[in-house]
Structure 1
């Protein structure tokens, strides 16, 4: 299986990339990034790319792929709706359309989040934008899986991008066993999320399929 990963430098993408590199069924991983990762592996191919709304220069590299793990995203904190929409909606739709044209049988897994609102009525801007993105992806002639994790605990060398989360890491690491016992339906790890996404795309996916945290943890077990 040949897999393309977007956002491999982030917390979620780290888990996705790690799952792919450890899985014997995955023969090649194409990581599309703005900056190269300090990682070397026989399966890994890194492509440095600047414009995540235009993949025409990469079209030849996008053929013959079996799955996409789209982990590219950002926090909505401090962003207006237009800027957040560009990163969240525009980037994802551009990638999905390019992949649908180049590898039409591919399965596209999109990392959204718990609380995403596909109805567009939420007061939370990020939830509306994520919901619109899910809706538009599901409408494409492409098999899709929407992944909605809650709290993601970093493991396996994953590091949160947020300074605040990095500062809180000693506390969250100490509390994680308690959180997992108290809120099993809302807590997962970066590695479990990566394994679950890979399992979901391997099984084929259907338009609009949704994985919440309990489903993520079941698939990852």
Structure 2
């Protein structure tokens, strides 16, 4: 199956890395990036829509039909945020976007970037983990062909990309040792991108992919 993918968050580290893998992947036919500002990438496969309000994508629905995969990489850090604000920027935004997307692309595979230690019970003490857990749970209920929630932990950045988070530039040296000692918590950004693409092509036996699953599906 040839992939026609929508990608969000392409101006962030994860989204840029996933976009990089999608544009170079032989099974990805075309990519539509939806963002609030240009992603700064030019490629024959790439089309871009600049849209300011991710809480309401109704104005662009006519331009986003006919795609069979979405790699939703848009997200914010919970550091310094109250739960209500983080919920709006994480759950409300994502579900509003996904609900509209499913209405025009019911055969789509939706891949969501979550995070390691996300709380599927929605009842734990950690605020961000509860919110991410509810987001995962509610996405699965939407009428997509399938929804896959990816839970990366430490990711080794892809060399040459411009949106690498600053702290990764200082701790990347940890990757070789960490990967050997804690293989279920260390992957590369390239492996995450490949896992998302391969899962949208082949499917997977679980809707939640931890790091060990990401490594399997990156092959």
TM-score between the two structures when normalised by the length of structure 2? 0.93
> What's the counterpart of residue 69 of structure 1?
71
What displacement does 1:43 show? 0.4
Contact 1:154 1:160 in 2 (8 A): no
Q: Go from structure 1 to structure 2 and tell me whether the alpha carbon gap of 1:85 and 1:130 turns closer, same or farther (over 3 Å shift).
A: same
What displacement does 1:158 show? 3.8
Contact 1:55 1:95 in 2 (8 A): yes
Find the residue that maps to 1:27 and give its secondary structure. strand
2:136 aligned with 1:118: no
> What's the counterpart of residue 209 of structure 2?
211
Find the residue that maps to 1:32 and give its secondary structure. strand
> What's the counterpart of residue 151 of structure 2?
148
> What's the counterpart of residue 23 of structure 2?
21
Answer with 91-100 or 68-77: which moved more.
91-100
Aligned counterparts of 1:32 and 1:181: Cα–Cα separation in 2: 37
> What's the counterpart of residue 174 of structure 1?
173
> What's the counterpart of residue 86 of structure 1?
88
Aligned counterparts of 1:144 and 1:104: Cα–Cα separation in 2: 11
Aligned counterparts of 2:40 and 2:143: Cα–Cα separation in 1: 35
Find the residue that maps to 1:89 and give its secondary structure. helix
Which of 1 and 2 has higher RCO (CA within 8 Å, sep 6+)? 1
Give 5+ residue unaligned stretches, structure 1: none
Find the residue that maps to 2:47 and give its secondary structure. strand
Q: Which runs of 4+ in 1 moved over 3 A?
A: 158-163
User: Which string of whole-angstrom CA distances, capped at 9 and with x for unpartnered residues, describes residues 25-44 of structure 1?
Assistant: 11110001111022110001
Contact 1:14 1:190 in 2 (8 A): no
User: Which string of whole-angstrom CA distances, capped at 9 and with x for unpartnered residues, describes residues 113-134 of structure 1?
Assistant: 1111121121110000000101
* Aligned length, in residue pairs: 216
User: Which string of whole-angstrom CA distances, capped at 9 and with x for unpartnered residues, describes residues 155-203 of structure 1?
Assistant: 133456654x15xx23x22221111111111001111101101111112
> What's the counterpart of residue 201 of structure 1?
200
TM-score between the two structures when normalised by the length of structure 1? 0.92
Find the residue that maps to 2:115 and give its secondary structure. coil
